[in-house]
């Protein structure tokens, strides 16, 4: 057996085993073991895998590439997140959308050293394009600054912002360090990127309690109840022991029997007191339908999505970012060279690196990941 065949079979074994385990850990390029036992194990496994699995499609309908950026001061101090937190944030994001058969591929993370963006950026005042130079094409980009300045409806005195997506929909958002792990902020902000409004949204008109205008007012979703959060006090208060709405707020019909969406991913009731009151925040079926509609119509997000299968034909990339993901099978063909300073992530349910594939980064990195769903 030739050296090339040995390297190919062993690489295939590692990638396929991790794919079946749906492990979100990255597979870094490494030298394969050069012994007969490894070859036999790989051959036996691939034979069984081909017979039992083949190129069986996954049940996920959509795979979206997402890239994370940890902001720091220009001297490298005061990071907005740790690598371990990024892993946790990614896992939380994945778990929030699997019910809708939407999965995310972790395309990686990097550090962005910029004093202003790490600690002084003011949401709603400063231009969001300040983050444009750092965005990775073809991905939803999530930035983690140490602090986001700005006004927040959840507090007074310009206490800062936990996260923002700037517009709905969008392909990038911010999550402040103080909101890591709180209220699943990363999935909330990505929800805005995917077209979801707050449940208490009023820019579209105020939703009535009986839902008669639910499709044209509020969050434009019919199965989320009207949300009185943020209405001018003293028409309501929240109990300190349960974060429950108590009030006399009236809608346009004069009704006041609000039943707030306490556990909705796009609501703020989880933050009504400290510690936060509600966990296991999730979208509704109607919100998932809105996400699907956004993904099928908003062109910038379509570039972040993955085909079922893809063949990566002869090419050489030696700088910048190169991201390619699939739902099912990604296969290389011919001379595929990832070199130099390129930062590249390849991923899918199955990744087949055939003879002719070469990963030889110098200052860059090459990562192969399975999708974590199913």
Q: What is the pLDDT of residues 257-271, one digit of tens each?
A: 999 999 999 999 888
In this structure, are residues 345 and 367 in contact, taking their beta carbons and an 8 Å threshold?
A: yes
Structural domain count of the chain: 2
Burial readout 18-31 (b: 16 or more C-beta within 10 A, e: otherwise):
bbeeeebebbebee
Of 33-42, 188-197, 331-340, least confident by mean pLDDT is: 33-42
- For the chain, the maximum distance between any two Cα atoms, rounded to a whole number of angstroms, is 81
More confident residue, 297 or 23: 297
153 within domain boundaries? yes
> Which residues on neighbouring strands pair with residue 139, listed in sequence order?
none
Q: Does the structure show a pLDDT above 70 at 40?
A: no
Sign of CA dihedral 91, 165, 302, 28: negative
Shared domain check, 292 and 320: no
Which among 271, 301, 331 is the end of a domain? 301
Q: Does the structure show a pLDDT above 60 at 124?
A: yes
More confident residue, 206 or 47: 206
List, as one string, the DSSP characters of 255-324.
Answer: -------TTBTT-SGGGSSSS----S-B--HHHHHHHHHHHHH-HHHHTTB--SEEEE-SEEE-SSEEEE
CA distance 279 to 111: 30
CA distance 261 to 270: 10
Shared domain check, 359 and 289: no
Shared domain check, 315 and 297: no
146 within domain boundaries? yes
Q: Does the structure show a pLDDT above 80 at 19?
A: no
Say how many C-beta atoms besides its own lie within 10 A of residue 299's C-beta.
6
- What is the predicted pLDDT for the residue at 277? 83
Q: Which range scores top for mean pLDDT: 21-35, 133-147, 265-279?
A: 133-147
CA distance 149 to 134: 20
237 within domain boundaries? no
Which among 274, 301, 328 is the end of a domain? 301
The burial class, CB within 10 Å (0-12 / 13-18 / 19+), for 48 is exposed
130 within domain boundaries? yes
Shared domain check, 184 and 89: yes
Rounded to an integer, the average pLDDT of 343-349 is 96
CA distance 187 to 91: 10
Tokens for 239, please give them. Answer: 């109990």
CA distance 2 to 169: 51
**Residues above pLDDT 90, as percent of the chain:** 72
Q: What is the pLDDT of residues 129-182, one digit of tens each?
A: 999 999 999 999 999 999 999 976 555 555 689 999 999 999 999 999 999 999
Residues in contact with 203: Cβ distance below 8 Å, sequence separation at least 6, in sequence order: none
Shared domain check, 151 and 296: yes
Shared domain check, 179 and 113: yes
CA distance 336 to 353: 9
Q: What pTM did the predictor assign?
A: 0.84
Quick one: CA torsion of 188, 83, 362, 18, rounded to 10 degrees? -80
Q: Which residue has the tokens 């034909």?
A: 313
Q: Is residue 144 helix, strand or coil?
A: strand
Q: Which residue has the tokens 């870094």?
A: 28
Distances (CA, A) of 221 to 21, 213, 230, 284: 36, 10, 19, 9
Shared domain check, 127 and 28: no
Shared domain check, 149 and 104: yes
Say how many C-beta atoms besides its own lie within 10 A of residue 63's C-beta.
26
Distances (CA, A) of 42 to 3, 84, 189, 355: 14, 32, 42, 16
170 within domain boundaries? yes
255 within domain boundaries? no
Shared domain check, 49 and 70: no
Query: Domain span at residue 75?
Result: 62-196+283-301
Distances (CA, A) of 89 to 93, 177, 267, 347, 354: 6, 11, 19, 19, 33
Shared domain check, 120 and 88: yes
In this structure, are residues 135 and 141 in contact, taking their beta carbons and an 8 Å threshold?
A: yes
In this structure, are residues 370 and 23 in contact, taking their beta carbons and an 8 Å threshold?
A: yes
- What is the predicted pLDDT for the residue at 30? 39
Which among 301, 334, 353 is the end of a domain? 301
Task: Give the residue from 74, 191, 79 showing the smallest Cα distance to 143.
Answer: 79
Shared domain check, 24 and 115: no
Shared domain check, 290 and 189: yes
> Which residues on neighbouring strands pair with residue 164, listed in sequence order?
174
Q: Residue 70's domain is classified under what CATH number?
A: 3.40.390.10
Q: How confident is the model at residue 254 (pLDDT cuts 50, 70, 90)?
A: very high
Q: Does the structure show a pLDDT above 50 at 92?
A: yes
- What is the predicted pLDDT for the residue at 230? 84
238 within domain boundaries? no
CA distance 321 to 345: 9
């Amino acid at each position: 057996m030739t050296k090339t065949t040995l390297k190919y079979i062993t690489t295939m074994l590692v990638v396929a085993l991790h794919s079946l385990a749906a492990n979100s850990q990255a597979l870094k390029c490494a030298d394969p073991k050069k012994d007969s036992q490894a070859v036999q194990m790989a051959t036996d496994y691939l034979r069984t895998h081909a017979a039992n699995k083949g190129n069986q499609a996954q049940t996920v309908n959509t795979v979206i590439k997402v890239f994370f950026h940890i902001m720091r001061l220009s001297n490298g101090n005061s990071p907005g997140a740790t690598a371990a937190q990024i892993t946790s944030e990614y896992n939380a994001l994945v778990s929030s959308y699997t019910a809708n058969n939407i999965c995310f591929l972790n395309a990686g993370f990097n550090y962005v050293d910029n004093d202003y963006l790490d600690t002084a950026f003011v949401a709603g005042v400063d231009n969001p394009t300040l983050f444009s130079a750092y965005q990775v094409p073809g991905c939803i980009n999530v930035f983690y600054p140490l602090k986001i300045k700005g006004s927040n409806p959840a507090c007074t005195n310009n206490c800062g912002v936990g996260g923002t997506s700037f517009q709905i929909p969008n392909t990038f958002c911010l999550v402040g360090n103080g909101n890591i792990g709180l209220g699943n902020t990363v999935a909330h902000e990505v929800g805005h990127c995917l077209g979801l409004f707050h449940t208490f949204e009023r820019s579209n008109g105020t939703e009535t309690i009986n839902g008669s205008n639910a499709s044209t007012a509020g969050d434009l979703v019919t199965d989320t109840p009207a949300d009185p959060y943020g209405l001018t006090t003293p028409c309501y208060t929240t109990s300190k022991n349960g974060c429950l709405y108590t009030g006399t707020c009236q809608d346009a019909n004069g009704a006041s029997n609000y039943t707030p969406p306490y556990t909705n991913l796009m609501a703020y009731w989880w933050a009504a007191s400290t510690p936060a009151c509600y966990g296991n925040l999730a979208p509704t079926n109607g919100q998932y339908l809105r996400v699907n509609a956004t993904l099928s119509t908003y062109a910038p997000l379509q570039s972040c999505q993955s085909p079922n299968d893809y063949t990566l034909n002869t090419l050489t990339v030696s700088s910048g970012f190169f991201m390619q993901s699939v739902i099912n099978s990604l296969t290389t063909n011919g001379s595929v060279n990832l070199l130099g300073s390129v930062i590249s992530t390849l991923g899918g349910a199955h990744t087949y690196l055939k003879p002719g594939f070469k990963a030889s980064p110098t200052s860059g990195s090459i990562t192969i990941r399975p999708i974590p769903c199913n």
